[in-house]
C-alpha cells in the first residue's frame, strides 16, 4: 500500500507535569493524487511514567503468566490452551484461538486490580495483533451475566452495537448491569479509526471519573457525534463517542468480577462471541487516567526504530465514508465537504479493488478538481519534534502535485 510517514526529532528532555494537558497537533494530509496512506515515526525519549497496578510482558514459556511485580498470576481458563509467542513488543506474547482461550485471576485474588478501591480512575493499555475481524475482549474486570452482572472496567476490540465495530472500545460501569431500558451497556468510548489484522497495534483507554477516551497507537480520534440504533437495543439518542462522558464513577460493589484476558463471562457462558482471536504482546492496568503524552511514551518505548508511530491507514472494511475511519475530505475550489459521499468523482477514503485509497476520481483523477483529505486528530507530536516527512506514491507522475499542511493550535 502506498504510504507516508513523519519522523519526529528526539526530544532533549522534559519534565513530567502530571496535570498538564497535551498540546494538540493536527496532522493534515493534502493529497492531490490518486492514492496515499500515512503514518508517523518517532524516536524514543525517556521520562518517568506512573507505576502500573500490573504489567504483563508474557515472557513465560507457558501459563501461568506473572506480572512485573510478581503479585498477579494469570492462569489458563477452564478448557483454554493459550500458547506463548516471542514476537510481542514487550518481549513476549500470547496467542489466543478465539474459541476457548482466555486467562483469568479469580476475583478473590484481584486485590489492587479492583481499581474502584482507589477512586474513579483507570487505564488499560495493550499491544494486540488481531487474527480475524471478530470482536473480542482484551482485559479487565467485566462480567455480563444478566443473572449476576459484575461490570467494572474493560478494554474491548470491536463492539458494533453502539458504534464500535472494528474499533478500540473502553468500557466502564458504575452499577454493574446493562444501561437502563436496553439489554446491554452503551457506556463505552470508541475510536474512529479501525484496527486491521496481522499487525501489532497499541490499544488503550483511560477513564478519569468523568469521561472515557479510546486510543489507537497513542492517538485519540475524536467522535463528537454518534447516533445509536433504535429499539430494542437503543433509543436513537445522539452523543459523543470519543470521548464518552460518564460522570458516574467506577462500580464499587463488594461483589466483583474475575480479572480476565481474552474473554468475559456472559449469561450464556464464558466467551460466546467475545473470545479474542490473535496475539496480545503486553498488557498493563493503571489506577490513574494516563495522559496522551504518557501513552505516547509507552508507545514509543516499544517501537522498532524507524517504525511508524501512528498508523493513519484507510482500512475501512468496505465503508466508503472516510469519516468512519477518522478521515475527512473536501473537494473543489468551493471546499465542499465530501466526507460521507460515496460518489466516484469525489475525493474520499474508500475501498477500490481491494486496496485502501484516498482518491478523487477513479476514471480520470488527473482531470478532476483538487481534493483535500485530512485527519484532524493527531495529538501530542510537537512541531519541534518533526524531522522527516516521506511519501511513497503509487504513481511517480503525481509527485509534484502532493502538498502537506500541518495545523498547530489552530494555526496553519
* pLDDT tens digits, one per residue of 65-92: 999 999 999 999 999 999 999 989 999 9
From CA 399, how far away is CA 364, in angstroms rounded?
A: 17
pLDDT > 80? residue 114: yes
The domain limits of the chain are 3-43+305-408, 54-301
What pairs with residue 7 in β-bridges?
A: 388
Mean pLDDT of 379-395: 62
Count other C-beta atoms under 10 Å from residue 243's C-beta: 21
Degrees (nearest 5) of the Cα angle 60, 65, 71? 125
Provide, rounded to the nearest whole percent, the portion of the chain with pLDDT above 70: 67
Q: What per-residue confidence (pLDDT) applies to 221?
A: 82
pLDDT tens digits, 132-161: 888 999 999 999 999 999 999 999 999 999
Q: Which CATH number does 54-301 carry?
A: 2.60.120.200
pLDDT at 226 over 80: yes
C-alpha 269/C-alpha 219 separation (Å) is 34
| Distance (Å, whole) CA 318 – CA 83 | 33
Average pLDDT for 182-208: 93
392 vs 284, higher pLDDT = 284
Is 253's pLDDT higher than 90? yes
Highest mean pLDDT among 57-61, 310-314, 392-396: 57-61
Residue 358's pLDDT is 55
- When pLDDT is averaged across residues 12-23 and rounded to a whole number, the result is 28
What is the arithmetic mean of pLDDT over 358-371? 52
Task: Among 227-241, 294-308, 339-353, 381-395, name the most confident range.
Answer: 227-241
Residue 323, pLDDT above cutoff 70? no
For the chain, give the percent of residues with pLDDT over 90: 52
pLDDT surpasses 90 at 58: yes
pLDDT of 18 > 50? The answer is no
Phi, psi for 197 (deg, rounded to 5):
-105, 160
Residue with the bigger pLDDT between 101 and 305: it is 101
Q: What is the predicted pLDDT for the residue at 339?
A: 61
- Whether the per-residue pLDDT at 267 is higher than 80: the answer is yes
The contacts of residue 250 (CB under 8 Å, 6+ apart) are 115, 116, 119, 120, 122, 152, 153, 172, 173, 174, 207, 209
pLDDT higher at 354 or 271: 271
- HSE-CB of 399 using CA atoms within 13 angstroms: 5
Mean pLDDT of 270-290: 93
Q: How do residues 34-47 score in pLDDT, each as one tens digit?
A: 222 333 434 344 45
Mean pLDDT of 259-283: 92
pTM listed for this prediction: 0.81
Model confidence at 196, pLDDT cuts 50, 70, 90, reads confident
d(CA 291, CA 116): 19
Burial 105-126 (b: 16+ CB within 10 A, else e): bebeebeebbbbeeebbbbbbb
CB atoms < 10 A from the CB of 84, how many?
A: 16
Computed over every residue of the chain, the mean pLDDT equals 78
pLDDT, residue 89, reads 94
Please give the pLDDT value at position 293: 87
Q: What integer pLDDT is reported at residue 398 of this predicted model?
A: 66
Q: What is the pLDDT of residue 11?
A: 33
Amino acid at each position: 500500500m502506498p504510504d507516508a510517514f513523519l519522523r519526529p526529532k528526539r526530544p532533549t528532555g522534559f519534565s513530567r507535569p502530571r496535570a498538564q494537558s497535551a498540546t494538540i497537533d493536527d496532522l493534515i494530509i493534502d493529497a492531490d493524487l490518486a492514492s496515499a496512506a500515512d503514518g508517523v515515526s518517532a524516536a524514543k525519549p525517556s521520562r518517568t511514567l506512573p507505576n502500573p497496578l500490573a504489567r504483563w510482558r508474557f515472557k513465560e514459556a507457558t501459563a501461568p503468566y506473572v506480572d512485573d511485580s510478581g503479585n498477579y498470576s494469570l492462569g489458563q481458563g477452564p478448557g483454554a490452551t493459550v500458547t506463548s509467542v516471542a514476537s510481542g513488543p514487550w518481549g513476549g506474547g500470547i496467542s489466543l484461538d478465539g474459541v476457548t482461550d482466555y486467562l483469568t485471576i479469580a476475583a478473590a485474588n484481584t486485590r489492587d486490580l479492583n481499581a474502584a478501591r482507589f477512586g474513579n480512575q483507570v487505564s488499560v493499555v495493550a499491544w494486540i495483533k488481531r487474527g480475524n475481524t471478530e470482536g473480542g475482549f482484551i482485559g479487565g474486570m467485566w462480567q455480563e451475566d444478566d443473572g449476576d452482572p459484575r461490570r467494572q472496567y474493560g478494554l474491548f476490540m470491536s463492539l458494533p452495537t453502539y458504534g464500535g465495530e472494528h474499533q478500540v472500545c473502553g468500557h466502564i460501569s458504575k452499577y454493574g448491569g446493562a444501561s437502563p431500558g436496553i439489554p446491554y451497556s452503551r457506556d463505552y468510548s470508541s475510536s474512529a479509526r479501525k484496527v486491521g489484522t496481522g499487525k501489532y497495534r497499541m490499544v488503550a483507554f483511560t477513564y478519569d471519573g468523568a469521561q472515557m477516551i479510546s486510543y489507537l497507537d497513542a492517538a485519540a480520534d475524536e467522535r463528537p457525534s454518534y447516533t445509536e440504533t433504535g429499539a430494542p437495543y437503543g433509543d436513537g439518542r445522539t452523543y459523543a463517542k470519543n470521548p464518552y462522558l460518564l460522570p458516574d464513577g467506577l462500580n464499587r460493589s463488594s461483589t466483583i468480577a474475575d480479572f480476565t484476558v481474552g474473554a468475559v463471562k456472559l449469561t450464556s457462558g464464558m466467551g460466546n462471541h467475545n473470545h479474542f482471536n490473535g496475539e496480545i504482546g503486553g498488557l498493563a492496568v493503571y489506577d490513574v487516567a494516563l495522559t496522551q503524552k504518557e501513552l505516547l511514551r509507552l508507545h514509543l518505548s516499544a517501537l522498532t526504530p524507524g517504525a511508524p508511530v501512528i498508523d493513519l491507514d484507510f482500512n475501512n472494511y468496505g465503508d466508503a465514508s472516510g469519516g468512519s475511519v477518522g478521515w475527512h475530505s473536501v473537494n473543489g475550489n468551493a471546499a465542499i465537504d465530501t466526507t460521507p459521499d460515496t460518489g466516484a468523482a469525489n475525493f474520499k477514503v474508500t475501498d477500490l479493488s481491494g486496496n485502501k485509497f484516498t482518491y478523487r476520481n477513479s476514471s480520470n483523477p488527473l482531470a478532476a478538481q483538487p481534493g483535500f483529505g485530512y485527519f484532524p486528530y493527531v495529538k501530542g507530536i510537537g512541531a519541534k519534534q518533526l524531522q522527516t516527512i516521506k511519501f511513497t506514491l503509487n504513481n511517480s507522475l503525481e509527485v509534484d502535485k502532493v502538498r502537506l499542511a500541518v495545523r498547530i493550535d489552530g494555526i496553519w
